[in-house]
A and B are shown apart, each in its own frame.
Chain A
């Protein structure tokens, strides 16, 4: 794909593009000449690698999990190449083992870690604030606030990484990664860095890398042949003690950079109202109180102590606006300056323009009664609200995500519900099996938890029933294999179910070792790695493969597996109905007249089975009907024991 073809430019013919934050990060990495990019899919980070892969300018591939991905990036850096690792916030926990020590070894080729956090948990199990990892690991962090900064900061991050001999964290959030905004000057070859690298203090550390720092193309550095350097990369105690000292010294140089490089900026406006902020919060505040003075932290760790002192000295009232943890606020208080922030802006969930407006009103930055269209909390003062006499809209049903029509996971969860067994679950589309009406999964905590938790729950003996551990194929590769080996090693019995739909579905259908494909070539790069053979290799001999579109067989096999006293495994064999392409079995089903409204078929949670509005003379009972979205999986026909569901025969 040619660079100019992916989206359109303004009619004016300039190089402006409308890009998501994730697309801009990919282009920033391309501009920096990244050689190797790795990651594991996770919302909201998943689109960076596929976008970068389109340009075929680097080795870009999904890894089996985040730890392996970061280790590949580390090896590339040791080989003098620029590397990037992308992950969602919780994935950095998985990669935190290599991260914490790479932080003290430092790098050769620039190493950039992109962590996409998910405040508000749009598609995550927690909303941890990964800015704390920068402080924990003592490494620098950049926080872009729109797509243009995603592009520029990513390119700059590689320079900073090499200059200061450190991995660099680029931290986004959902509203940065999945927002589109205009990126101008997408000049791929020229370096248009906004950073001034020539300020006075540029002698850290006295490593071999510094010789090349003024050569922005880094052609010499990145073509070096491999040499070993055990004092730098063998973190045995004798060497690690020295590297840790260097890492602490490095913080002084990074603080100097944070103050003087120009990347952190003060915008003086009002002498009375000042805001210190970063990321998306900057955009909200800028819109609401454009008259305030701003200290925008783009390089938010280590914080620029001198700039903060100057700003607080020059502006009368200063508040900190940040999502999630009081990270900036705490850093500033450790300078001996106490500012308010979390007193006005919530620590839970994501900020919105309206929450920022409320907080700023409470902080006395604006008089909310004078603000047109003030947030709903103040509606009672400002306008009478909608004509909604019976408050009928208050009672709208929530619409939660559900398994797709024809999803191969459905029958398994319905059977597990009937079997009433404890089910340790995992992370993926199948997490939706925990929700009503299926309600057949009892835990969702971390990637790959299910088999470990199933072992523990079995040992706990708190249920007289055999335990189930259930996860998808991509999760099994990510971190299910190890815990299944552990269960066999410790001879603990439970039933391990692998919902193999041949893709990583929840994040948009990415490939994994079981598909044998990957991003770089989008064609087979290896033989498909066979889940059944892995399980056989572990030494588990009781393995069932089932067709989840045959409900009765699925139920029978699961019942047998749960009656067996062995550690055993059940693998499903139907592909996802969405990825890699939308499937349709080519059949349609209908509910026959005479249906008694027993509700059984409604209990599988298929989005194609709806309740009729008129229930006739059956009182409260709902008569179902099947709408046009049915793809013909036929599970409901098996479920209806009264035979009121039948395939529609189309005569042609």
Chain B
């Protein structure tokens, strides 16, 4: 990522920590002295619906919303949501950092044809293939396994943040501080481990 305007879109399902991840990234960008604007969603959409947070930072920012096709990076906690948002916001250079897992919306029609019509026929693997053939800077992560290795499935969002941090021009110390400021103190060790897991994963890939 260079030092022009950075547009980071975070997406997932309400309740997965999209707003928290947004707070951490925006505090990190703010602490490194950038102009920054973010936009988040509250209220009804948070009840298990599709949610996104926009973060933009750089020298001078006007719009808090990312223009279409101009995301620098998309972080997604659900692969179906990745698919939903790349259509609108990604271009071929966008860094895609996505969980390889996804939750099919729980209620789907009984009739098979209706299911196909409603997209239930799309599998996680189908989407993964589309991502692989379209994006060179793709980080498709088995975040569930990495999080369970650390002992808590809930930190998978922080693992993905760790990957973003390694691609960003913001210093590691600032990221760590931003995480500590936004989480309950007793979970600090776990969250920092999760962050470093993501960051190391990315650093190792870059060494190859």
Q: Is B truly associated with A?
A: yes
> Which residues of A pack against B, CB within 8 Å?
7-8, 10-12, 18, 43-44, 46-47, 122-123, 146, 175, 178-182, 280, 283-284, 286-287, 352-354, 357, 373, 375-376, 386-388, 392-393, 395-404, 429, 431-432, 436-437, 506-508, 599, 602, 605-607, 609-611, 613, 620, 622, 628
Partner of B87, one of A175, A179, A393, A599: A393
Closest to B81 in A: A399
Contact A181 B107 (CB under 8 A): no
Q: Is the CB of B31 within 8 A of A403?
A: no
A431 contacts across to B, CB distance below 8 A? 44
List the B side residues contacting A403 at CB < 8 Å: 47
Chain B: CB-nearest residue to A431: B44
Q: Does B151 contact A (CB under 8 A)?
A: no
Q: Are A397 and B48 in contact (CB under 8 A)?
A: no
Asked whether, in the complex, the Cβ of A10 is within 8 Å of the Cβ of B119, the reply is no
A-B contact count (CB 8 A): 190
Whether A179 contacts B49 in the complex (CB less than 8 A), given A373-B70, A393-B130, comes out as no
Complex: A403 Cα to B49 Cα, angstroms: 10
Contact B42 A397 (CB under 8 A): no
**Contact between chains at B43 and A376 (CB < 8 Å):** no
* Secondary structure of the A contact surface, majority rule: loop
B58-93: CB near A (< 8 Å → 1, else 0) gives 000111111111100000000011011011100100
Q: Is the CB of B110 within 8 A of A398?
A: no
The answer to the question of B38 belonging to the interface, with a C-beta cut-off of 8 Å to chain A, is yes
CA gap between A466 and B123 in the complex, in Å = 45
Residue among A122, A123, A373, A429 making CB contact with B68, cutoff 8 Å: A373
- Interface contact B103-A12, CB-CB below 8 Å: no
- What A residues does B117 contact at CB under 8 A? 395
Residues of A within 8 Å of B66, CB to CB, are 353
Instruction: Identify which of B38, B50, B153 contacts A179 (C-beta below 8 A).
Output: B38
Known: A122-B43, A402-B107, A609-B106; 9 extra A-B contacts, CB below 8 A, are: A8-B27, A180-B37, A180-B39, A354-B67, A399-B84, A431-B44, A436-B107, A611-B106, A620-B110
Name A605's closest neighbour in chain B (CB-CB): B107
Asked whether B43 lies within 8 Å of A506 as measured between CB atoms, the reply is: yes
Instruction: Known A286-B62, A395-B116; judge A122-B37 contact (CB<8 A).
Output: no
Contacts of B47 in A (CB 8 A): 401-404, 429, 432, 506
Asked if B1 CB lies within 8 Å of chain A CBs, one says no
For residue A437, which residues in chain B have a CB less than 8 angstroms away from its CB? 107
Question: B200 contacts the other chain (Cβ, under 8 Å)?
Answer: no
Q: Which of B26, B44, B81 has the most CB of A within 10 A?
A: B44
Task: List B residues at the A interface (Cβ < 8 Å).
Answer: 13-15, 26-27, 30-31, 33, 35-50, 61-70, 80-81, 83-84, 86-88, 91, 103-108, 110-112, 116-123, 126-127, 130, 133-134, 153, 181
* CA A83 to CA B105, docked complex, whole Å: 45
Report Cα–Cα, A399/B48, bound state, in Å.
Answer: 8
Q: Is the CB of B106 within 8 A of A401?
A: no
Residue of chain B at shortest CB distance from A403: B47
Q: Are B49 and A399 in contact (CB under 8 A)?
A: yes
Complex CA gap A404/B44 in Å reads 12
Q: Which residues of A contact B81 (CB under 8 A)?
A: 399
26 inter-chain pairs at a CB distance below 8 angstroms, sorted by A residue, are A7-B27, A8-B31, A18-B26, A18-B30, A122-B41, A122-B45, A146-B37, A181-B64, A283-B62, A286-B62, A353-B67, A357-B67, A373-B91, A393-B87, A396-B119, A397-B120, A397-B122, A401-B46, A402-B48, A402-B107, A432-B47, A602-B106, A607-B48, A610-B104, A620-B110, A620-B112
> Once the chains are docked, how many angstroms separate the CA of A474 from the CA of B33?
43
Q: Is the CB of A401 within 8 A of B63?
A: no
Task: State how many angstroms separate the Cβ of B67 from the closest Cβ of chain A.
Answer: 4
Q: A284-B62, A393-B83 are in contact. Are A506 and B106 (CB under 8 A)?
A: no
Q: Which B residues are in CB contact (< 8 Å) with A46?
A: 42
Q: A375 vs B88: C-alpha distance in the bound complex, in angstroms?
A: 9
Does the CB pair B91–A401 fall under 8 Å?
no
Q: 3 closest A-B pairs (Cβ-Cβ)? A: A123-B43, A43-B43, A401-B49
Residue among B62, B65, B88, B118 making CB contact with A376, cutoff 8 Å: B88
Q: Which of B38, B44, B108, B119 contacts A395 (CB 8 A)?
A: B119
Q: Which residue of A lies closest to B39 (CB)?
A: A179
**Complex CA–CA separation, A352 to B39 (angstroms):** 12
User: Quick check: B50 and A399 within 8 Å, CB to CB?
Assistant: yes
Which B residue sits closest to A352, measured CB to CB? B65
The complex places the Cα of A180 from the Cα of B19 at a distance, in Å, of 12
In the complex, what residues of B have CB within 8 A of residue A611's CB? Answer: 104, 106, 108
Cβ–Cβ contact B80 & A397, under 8 A = yes
Closest B residue to A180 using CB positions: B38
Closest to A400 in B: B49
**Known interface pairs A395-B117, A399-B105. Does A44 touch B122 (Cβ–Cβ under 8 Å)?**
no
The answer to whether A605 and B112 touch across the interface, beta carbons within 8 angstroms, is no
